[in-house]
């Protein structure tokens, strides 16, 4: 099965509790409507599950972080970044 990767500017904090995201996050819907990046704890409380139309779970790869330049960061998200930033590479986790 093909793996899909999240190589962009991965979220640094949970949108709900503002906790730093370290190894795992969920990009998914909430019971309150809007989508966001959630830590696993918030996803359990506020999320609507995993799967198509509900949410995707990502886990950080073992090799850790990738450093990218500001230019690359801009390409990822369309947002200019004034500094070189470390980018975490996450791999999508099924289910
Ligand atoms: Zn959270």
pLDDT interval class at 8 (50, 70, 90): low
Instruction: Compute the distance from residue 53 Cα to the ligand 1 centre, in Å.
Output: 20
Q: Give the whole-angstrom CA distance, residue 48 versus residue 85.
A: 32
Cα-based distances in Å from 15 to 29, 58, 80 = 12, 15, 21
Q: Give the whole-angstrom CA distance, residue 20 versus residue 69.
A: 22
DSSP E strands, the chain = 5-6, 24-29, 35-38, 55-68, 85-93
Q: Give the whole-angstrom CA distance, residue 33 versus residue 76.
A: 26
Instruction: Compute the distance from residue 47 Cα to the ligand 1 centre, in Å.
Output: 10
- Tokens at residue 30, please? 């909430």
Q: Is the pLDDT of residue 2 over 80?
A: no
What was the pLDDT predicted at 66?
54
Instruction: Compute the distance from residue 62 Cα to the ligand 1 centre, in Å.
Output: 22
- Tokens at residue 7, please? 């190589």
Instruction: Compute the distance from residue 31 Cα to the ligand 1 centre, in Å.
Output: 14
Instruction: Compute the distance from residue 16 Cα to the ligand 1 centre, in Å.
Output: 5
What was the pLDDT predicted at 93?
78
Instruction: Compute the distance from residue 21 Cα to the ligand 1 centre, in Å.
Output: 8
pLDDT in tens, 14-32: 999 999 888 888 989 999 8
Instruction: Compute the distance from residue 88 Cα to the ligand 1 centre, in Å.
Output: 18
User: In this predicted structure, which of 1-10, 11-20, 52-61, 73-82 has the lowest mean pLDDT?
Assistant: 73-82
Reduced to 3 states (helix: H, G, I; strand: E, B; else coil), residue 78 is coil
- Tokens at residue 26, please? 């969920």
């Amino acid at each position: 099965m093909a793996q899909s990767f999240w190589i962009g500017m991965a979220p640094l904090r949970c949108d709900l509790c503002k906790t730093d995201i370290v190894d795992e996050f969920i990009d998914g819907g909430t019971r309150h409507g809007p989508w966001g990046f959630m830590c696993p704890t918030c996803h359990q409380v506020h999320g609507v599950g995993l799967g198509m139309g509900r949410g995707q779970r990502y886990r950080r790869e073992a090799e850790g972080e990738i450093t990218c330049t500001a230019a690359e960061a801009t390409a990822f998200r369309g947002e200019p970044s004034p500094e070189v930033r470390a980018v975490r590479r996450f791999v999508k986790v099924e289910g």
